[in-house]
Amino acid sequence: MTTFAIYSITAVVLFCVGLMGLAVHPNLLRKIVCLNIMAGGAFLFLISLAYNSQGPEMDPVPQAMVLTGIVVAVSATSFALCLTRMIKERTGQCHLEGSDKDKDN
C-alpha cells in the first residue's frame, strides 16, 4: 500500500507540474519538455496501479501499455520538435503567435 501511495502521489504531482510548465512557458521547446514530464507522470501512475494489484503476478497489461506509450511518446516528440524547427525557420521565433513572449523571453 505505502509504495503505491508514494508513487501514485508522485505521479499526480509530476503530471500537475508538467501541466503548470506547459502553461507558463511560451517557448515551444520547453512546452515539449513539459509534455514529456506529464507523460512520465501518467506512466508512473499506470505502473503504480499495476504494482498495487492483487493477483498471481504483477498486472502485465499496464506494463505493455507503458512500453508502447514510451515509443509513441518519442515519435510524437520528434515530430513536434520537427514542427518547432519549421516554425523557427519560417518566423524566426520559437513561440506561437499570441503568447506574450516579449515579456519573458
Q: Enumerate residues 17-76 that contact other proteins by CB under 8 A.
A: 17-21, 23-25, 27, 29-30, 32-34, 36-37, 40, 43-45, 47-68, 70-76
Residues 6+ apart with CB under 8 A from 29: 81, 84, 94
Residue 14 binds other proteins, judged by CB under 8 A? yes
| DSSP code, position 97 | T
Backbone angles phi, psi at 7, to 5 degrees: -75, -35
Residue 99 binds other proteins, judged by CB under 8 A? no
Give the end-to-end CA distance of the chain in Å, rounded to a whole number. 44
Residue 96 binds other proteins, judged by CB under 8 A? no
Q: How far is the CB of 99 from other proteins (least distance, A)?
A: 13
Q: How far is the CB of 96 from other proteins (least distance, A)?
A: 14
